[in-house]
């Protein structure tokens, strides 16, 4: 199984709503990522979890709250979002078997994304 | 720091070749290449881990010049299926999980 599964595929929410995006992988990967992608732009890193601990937070506003309940699951909780937060949210995972300067260089496996629209 | 990709866009006829470049102002430990088709997720193409390393996947290959802090992706005898946006990604440093993508190169292959 080499899939990263994201749900929902599409989400429309108002600025006062609370919703969550979910991501699941069963490849035994210990690093999981959230990226945000606007149209015609590259994916932008938001968060990285390594061994279920938050490893990187790229100065993301607190209205986005990540959670890693276990090594296979990654959630992104959304609250009081703004229309400019509308984007494709991509989850990814990677496995890194190296050490030294080449540690954590494994390829990223991306899910199909959750397309979020904030009204 | 975001790598710089060039060109921003390229249009090819089937069978033609293309080169996409990726450069960084900081030392590179690894370079990733991904392709994203419209409406789909990025798909991994290859990783280059060492300076001077070259890899190939069918008619797509890449090189990594550590000294020049750059990588190039070579697409030969392009096919319609090669169309998409190509991103290079670089890690934030030795052992870093941070992977930052360049702005992308849009490749269009026409019959």
pLDDT tens for B4-13 read 999 999 999 9
Q: Are A112 and B98 inside 8 Å of each other by CB? A: no
**pLDDT mean over A35-50:** 95
Q: Tell me if B58 sits within 8 A of B49, measured CB to CB.
A: no
Q: Are B97 and A55 inside 8 Å of each other by CB? A: yes
Q: Are A107 and B91 inside 8 Å of each other by CB? A: no
Q: Is B55 on the interface with A (CB under 8 A)?
A: no
Shortest alpha-carbon distance between residue B58 and chain A (Å):
18
pLDDT tens-digit series, residues B48-100: 876 666 666 778 999 988 888 899 999 999 999 999 999 999 987 767 788 89
**Who contacts B33 (Cβ-Cβ below 8 Å, separation ≥6)?**
B22, B44, B45, B46, B47, B62, B71, B73, B86, B87, B88, B89
Shortest alpha-carbon distance between residue A14 and chain B (Å):
24
Q: What is the pLDDT of residue B29?
A: 79
Sheet of A73-79: strand order equals A4-7, A18-25, A73-79, A64-70
């Amino acid at each position: 199984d080499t899939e990263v599964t994201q749900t929902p595929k599409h989400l429309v929410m108002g600025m006062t709503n609370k919703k969550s995006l979910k991501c699941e992988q069963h490849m035994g990967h210990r690093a999981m990522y959230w990226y945000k992608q606007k149209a015609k732009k590259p994916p932008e890193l938001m968060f990285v979890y390594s061994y279920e601990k938050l490893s990187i937070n790229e100065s993301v506003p607190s209205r986005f709250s990540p959670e890693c309940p276990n090594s296979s699951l990654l959630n992104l909780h959304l609250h009081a979002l703004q229309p400019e937060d509308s984007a494709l949210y991509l989850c990814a995972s990677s496995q890194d078997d190296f050490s030294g300067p080449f540690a954590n260089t494994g390829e990223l496996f991306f899910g199909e994304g959750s397309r979020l629209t904030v009204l | 720091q975001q790598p710089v990709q060039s060109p921003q866009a390229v249009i090819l006829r089937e069978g033609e070749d293309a080169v996409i470049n990726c450069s960084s102002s900081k030392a590179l430990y690894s370079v990733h290449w991904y392709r994203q088709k419209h409406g789909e997720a990025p798909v991994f193409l290859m990783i280059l881990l060492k300076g001077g390393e070259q890899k190939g996947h069918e008619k797509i290959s890449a090189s990594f010049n550590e000294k020049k802090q750059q990588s190039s992706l070579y697409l030969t005898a392009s096919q319609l299926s090669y169309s998409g946006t190509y991103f290079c990604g670089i890690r934030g440093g030795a052992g870093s999980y941070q992977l930052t993508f360049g702005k992308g190169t849009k490749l269009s292959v026409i019959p």
